[in-house]
Amino acid sequence: MTFRSTVLHLTLLLSIVTSGCSDGNANAFFYSSTLDQRTKDEQPAVLKTLEELVNIESGTNDAIGIPEMGNYLEGRLKALGAEVTRTPATSGVVGDIIVGQFKGSGGRHILMMAHMDTVYVRGSLAKAPFRIDGDQVLGAGIADAKGGIATILHTLALLKAQSFQQFGTITVMFNTDEEKGSLGSNELIQKLAAQSDIVLSYETGFIYEGQEFFVTGTSGVAVVEARVHGKASHAGAASPTAVNSMTEAADLILRTQDLQDPQQERLFNWTSIKGGSATNIIPDLTVVSADMRYGRNEDLPLLEAALAERAQKKRLEGARIDLQVTRLIPPYNATDAARGVMNKAVAIYAEVGAKLVAANVRTGGGSDAGWAALSGKPVLENLGLPGGNQHADAGEYVLASAIPRRLYLSARLVSELGQGL
Question: Are 102 and 81 in contact, with CB atoms under 8 Å apart?
Answer: yes
Are the C-beta atoms of residues 287 and 275 closer than 8 Å to each other? yes
Containing 267, the helix (H) or strand (E) segment is strand 266-275
**Given 51, 178, 212, 299, the catalytic residue:** 178
Instruction: Kindly name the residue from 117, 144, 203, 396 that is annotated as catalytic.
Output: 117
178 is catalytic: yes
Q: Which residues does 39 contact at the CB level (< 8 Å), separation at least 6? A: 158, 403, 404, 405, 407, 408, 411
Helical ranges in 315-363 per DSSP H: 336-350
398 vs 150: CA distance, rounded Å? 11
Torsion of CA 332, 338, 341, 342, to 10 degrees: 50
Give me the helices (H) in 81-142, please.
none
Please give the C-alpha separations between residue 203 and each of 86, 162, 218, 281, 321, in angstroms, as whole numbers. Answer: 22, 26, 11, 49, 38
- Helix, coil or strand: residue 321: strand
Which helix (DSSP H) or strand (DSSP E) does residue 218 occupy? strand 217-218
Residue 1 CB partners (closer than 8 Å, separation 6+): 48
Instruction: Name the pairing type of β-strands 220-229 and 320-329.
Output: antiparallel
Distance CA 298, CA 265 (A): 12
How open is the CA angle 318-322-328, to the nearest 5 degrees? 160
| Element at 10 (helix H, strand E) | helix 2-17
Mind telling me the catalytic residues? 117, 178
